[in-house]
Amino acid sequence: MQKKILVVDDEKDIVELIAYNLEQEGFTVLRAYDGQAAWEMIRAARLDMVLLDLMLPGLSGMEVCKLIRRHGETEMLPVIMLTAKSDQVDKILGLELGADDYMTKPFSVRELVARIRAVLRRSQARSDMNMPPEAFTYLGLEIDFPSCTVKVDNNRVSLSSREFKLLQFLTRRPGRVYSREQLLDHVWGDETFVEPRTVDVHISRLRAAIEKDKEHPKYILTVRGLGYKFNDISPEQTS
């Protein structure tokens, strides 16, 4: 299957040059010329990579990279930064924000293609190692992710789509604490007018559905002053 790459740069000649060469190499190429348009395309399209210029009108490349890494749907999307700047500080900042690689203009198209293939190989290797499980079990709680069904002690429980997404996200990394803001970013995304208090309400509803005693939960725990986590799991507790 052809890999789909979004090329983002406000210089259309550069976009067309990169796009032409990538298409010759068998890639499918989408184009964007500013940060806001790029982010909308990233959210809408199933991409395999983004080539992202640092200096963009509207949202900067740095801001777009931050958004990519903050959202669960896009956090693993490979990003290569393209920029006219050669300052080491910019390179380090770009990599710290989550860029997978960094190229300074002017660059060799052949080298760019080679780096794209290398990053895609690394991304595929990570994906193969971190395939999400089909199911999750813990102390009587059973989750079947493909069918979006949840059981507690073999009794099926009814969850809203938001409650299920919240449970799914927390069980991805048991023991890791998430603040309300992080949960809003990952579970609610870009929805407007959502208050942090909303997280508390949904956690309470989720506990009411899956916990035997929601005042003394064993699945979803509160970490005072920090946020919420799914309980730490030891091997003997996963059946």
Q: Average pLDDT of the chain?
A: 86
153 exposure class (CB count in 10 Å sphere: 0-12, 13-18, 19+): exposed
User: For the residues 194-215, what does the mean pLDDT come to?
Assistant: 92
Considering the domain architecture, whether residues 14 and 112 belong to the same structural domain is answered as yes
| pTM for this prediction | 0.56
Residues 51 and 114 in one domain: yes
Whole-number pLDDT of residue 15: 96
Q: What is the pLDDT of residues 176-199, one digit of tens each?
A: 888 888 888 888 876 656 788 899
- Number of domains within the chain: 2
Cβ contact 29:19 at 8 Å: yes
Dist CA 22 CA 106 (whole Å): 17
Q: Are residues 105 and 173 in the same domain?
A: no
Q: Which pLDDT belongs to residue 141?
A: 95
- Give residue 1's pLDDT: 67
Cβ(47)–Cβ(30) below 8 Å: yes
* Domain around 169: 135-237
Both 102 and 166 in a single domain? no
Polymer length of the chain: 239
Domain boundary among 106, 129, 152: 129
Q: Give the CATH number of the domain where residue 222 resides.
A: 1.10.10.10
Q: Do residue 84 and residue 157 come from a single domain?
A: no
User: Cβ contacts of residue 168 below 8 Å, gap of 6+?
Assistant: 143, 145
CA distance 115 to 118: 5
CATH number at 108 reads 3.40.50.2300
pLDDT at 221: 95
Q: How far apart are CA 47 and CA 84, in angstroms?
A: 24
Same-domain pairing of 159 and 94: no
Same domain? For 44 and 104 the reply is yes
> What's the pLDDT at 138?
92
Task: Say if residue 67 is in the same domain as residue 26.
Answer: yes
Clarify whether residues 13 and 39 are in a common domain: yes
For 110-129, how does the pLDDT look when each residue is reduced to its tens digit (9 = 90+)?
999 999 999 898 877 666 54
Q: What angle do CA 194, 200, 205 make, to 5 degrees?
A: 110
